[in-house]
Structure 1
């Protein structure tokens, strides 16, 4: 039974307290779960056979209960797809909070709707699902009894070898398979790094603007952040040295700066490595979409220049394959390996073994290379369609930055707050990102702009999406500026006993 159904009270638990028929008691508990919100609208119920086994009743009992709930409008049957809680319900669940305004078009059941301009979402519509399903099924069927005991907390050996081979060819990173650690996505890697190598109060460089999820994770771990500005050549290393010369970490996106898109220049790369060597610091290279350069071949990774073992390379398959995979990896220098391996044995397990081995085959059999090659062509098409639509239809208050890679375009905004535009766009079914949310220190002057993901936006839909975005910008420009409330009058100081 699904997790949502598992909260239902047992039919057996009520047998000693009631003489009502079993089908009536089953009807009561499902109806109660729906009305309380424990079973949400659109939730799939177990099949009649599975429910009968779980509840310890006959299948006919379940059929009667399901039929009554269907007649009353609580359930709907969709043939072979199964039985679902009606969405929307004929009456709202008791105690349920009011629903926020949403895109009126319903998403397919069980899947989150992809909205135009979502940042960080690849072209999942073009992923070879049949090939992936075949590989995943292969390893699910081949599972051995020994696979059911324990797995290597650093990742399956076959996948680590496949990742090492892939990086040597595609990113110029030469590493032994033992130096590769498989993680639960990039955020799993961040968790390992924070637990294994950092102490609360350590200083860390972070690009400004920079990836806000990295910032949040580091602050949660108790690190003190030095916001290092970026310019046309990427991270301003000299400024980082001035701000925090003995920092423990530098978190960088050298191949495609997040969110502005420039690459870290060679002189800056060499300066960063020289600083790390002298300070004994770790440079964490977040190569989140290094495979996708639209104007040239992908740039070699910063790790390829590291001859002193100071760079920890972090990669993910969320952008090159699909986000729900939640599989990432680290290439760990020997000096950090033992600490990270120990943390991995206690925290943040990698994905299931069958998933890891399927990814190993996806890499080793050439499917990954072919998919990335197709995606480069597709993303160039979708990026071009979005850029043309923005030039023709978008507001004159939106100016594109000349980023050369990645899965989004960055546009500077004038005449409106980007947060206000994002809110207005959400009401129109769009999901751009606000550039200001990536800024670490707003005191330098607030950045106003939009991040516009194009990877999941088919070219024929670009003009319609941009037209709605222009509407959101105009609505934001016409909105009255936020008023600053007057401070309350100071209360008189009370003298005497408290």
Structure 2
């Protein structure tokens, strides 16, 4: 008599006996995955429950229970006197696997995107990736080493001791009124923005703010003035809403309003970073701010003011925000805690004109779930107890010190190789390259040496004549700055053929 096969060998299945997940549940999930992925083919015999139990050193009761569960799910079938088999129904019901490397034409044919997204995706530009550990010269990174973790931990623990109905329920769609009130008070005293808490909406980062504004105010094809070069995240968000971006030049006064009026006088929206133009670092002049406000009022257009790092200035007093001098109610102010606190928060806010409060409330209540309640409560307490003001004041001094060390080291080591600009605000600056040096090649070689620099060109919709690098100085300790500058100097020397002798 021929001995019947013992079924598929399943010793590769692993059981984590230290896990809190029951062994039966682990085994059931693992077998289900093998069956659905075709690792065990339809019609293939499985080992008996006794054999499976012996192979995996588990109880037979557990093995029987797993088989019964999979049979209930119709993934396996039992034949009297013959054992358990993978169900042959899977042959007909399982979709044919897609070609792992389809041609571009086939991909376009098989994947149908909405017309709006299909057109937008071709214009998207990859945002800069950030290393886990801050390094020279990553942009937009606050100083993690200086964040008051003990205070944050105390406020977090305090929140989780609140009644369960407070900490476990759904957050308010438009944001916690306590946090909105705290932000309103901060903006009034620090940025000159006078607004009511009801005009502030809490969002999951500035990117969501741009999406919400675009989806609310833009029809596909509407013209949007956009800084060139400009912020990639905002650019992608507005494109995905159907905006037709009109790239406008940046000069020493900021966005060129006259150029905008020539190219698109009937614009619907303008996006600007007036306090610290991203990425060139220009501070929009007061004259140019009023020009922009007048243009928006005449066109019936809106202005997004992205004040992403306006809390950090190092000399004198900053110019008033657009929002604070907007008499016609055309400015939508967007702020974020990613730079002033830390990016993992993914917490930002939008200050809308009174005319838009009603529609933003309706949208928030209808389709949005709100930012995490615990983060909102902790940030609100952080502001109300005075920690935020103290932190910002302290970080201004630290970033000013890092900026000065960075500029001094760059001027000494990179003279003739890179013209590094002095800035009086923000977390990064730019360096202009000599004619003929490829900014993309510089960035590629620098990355290979363990430092990050961003070509100005990657922020451009239309090419500009200035070639250079965007350089962050805020996220690294002072002792890391000079070694980073040295590496950058070596990269630039290798590409330019010049050699700089330190003075």
Q: TM-score by structure 1 length?
A: 0.74
Aligned residue runs from structure 1 range 185-204, under 5 A: 185-204=205-224
Per-residue CA shift, 1:257-294, capped at 9, x if unaligned? 11111211111111111111111110110000111111
Say which SS state the counterpart of residue 227 (structure 2) adopts.
Answer: strand
Q: 1:464: which partner in 2?
A: 483
- Give how far 1:124 is off: 1.2
Aligned residues: 391
CA distance in 1 between counterparts of 2:237 and 2:480 reads 35
The one of 397, 410, 419 equivalent to 1:390 is 410
Q: Quick check: 2:170–2:373 contact (8 Å CA) kept in 1?
A: no
- Does the alignment pair 1:11 with 2:31? no
- Cα 1:417–1:24, aligned 2, differ >3 Å: closer, same or farther? farther
CA distance in 1 between counterparts of 2:389 and 2:363 reads 32
Q: 2:12: which partner in 1?
A: none
Q: 2:168: which partner in 1?
A: 148
Per-residue CA shift, 1:30-64, capped at 9, x if unaligned? xxxxxxxxxxxxxxxxxxxxxxxxx9xxxxxxxxx
Q: Name structure 1 gaps, 5 residues minimum.
A: 27-54, 56-94, 96-110, 479-498
- Does the alignment pair 1:417 with 2:417? no
Q: 1:255: which partner in 2?
A: 275
Q: 1:276: which partner in 2?
A: 296
Q: 1:438: which partner in 2?
A: 459
The one of 342, 354, 357 equivalent to 1:322 is 342
Q: 1:217: which partner in 2?
A: 237
CA distance in 1 between counterparts of 2:449 and 2:54 reads 48
Q: Quick check: 2:417–2:493 contact (8 Å CA) kept in 1?
A: no
CA distance in 2 between counterparts of 1:292 and 1:171 reads 11
- Give how far 1:348 is off: 5.3
Say which SS state the counterpart of residue 10 (structure 1) adopts.
Answer: helix
- Does the alignment pair 1:454 with 2:473? yes
Q: Quick check: 1:171–1:299 contact (8 Å CA) kept in 2?
A: no
The one of 448, 453, 473 equivalent to 1:427 is 448
- Cα 1:21–1:425, aligned 2, differ >3 Å: closer, same or farther? farther
- Cα 1:425–1:349, aligned 2, differ >3 Å: closer, same or farther? farther
Q: Quick check: 1:119–1:451 contact (8 Å CA) kept in 2?
A: yes
Question: Which shifted more, 221-230 or 177-186?
Answer: 221-230
- Give how far 1:142 is off: 0.9
Q: 1:114: which partner in 2?
A: 134
- Give how far 1:401 is off: 2.3
Q: Aligned-pair RMSD on alpha carbons?
A: 2.6
- Give how far 1:353 is off: 0.6
CA distance in 1 between counterparts of 2:432 and 2:469 reads 6
Q: 1:98: which partner in 2?
A: none
Q: 1:405: which partner in 2?
A: 425
Q: Quick check: 2:427–2:473 contact (8 Å CA) kept in 1?
A: yes
Aligned residue runs from structure 1 range 316-355, under 5 A: 316-347=336-367, 349-355=369-375
- Give how far 1:24 is off: 3.7
- Cα 1:372–1:20, aligned 2, differ >3 Å: closer, same or farther? same
Q: 1:358: which partner in 2?
A: 378
Q: 2:493: which partner in 1?
A: 474
- Give how far 1:25 is off: 7.8
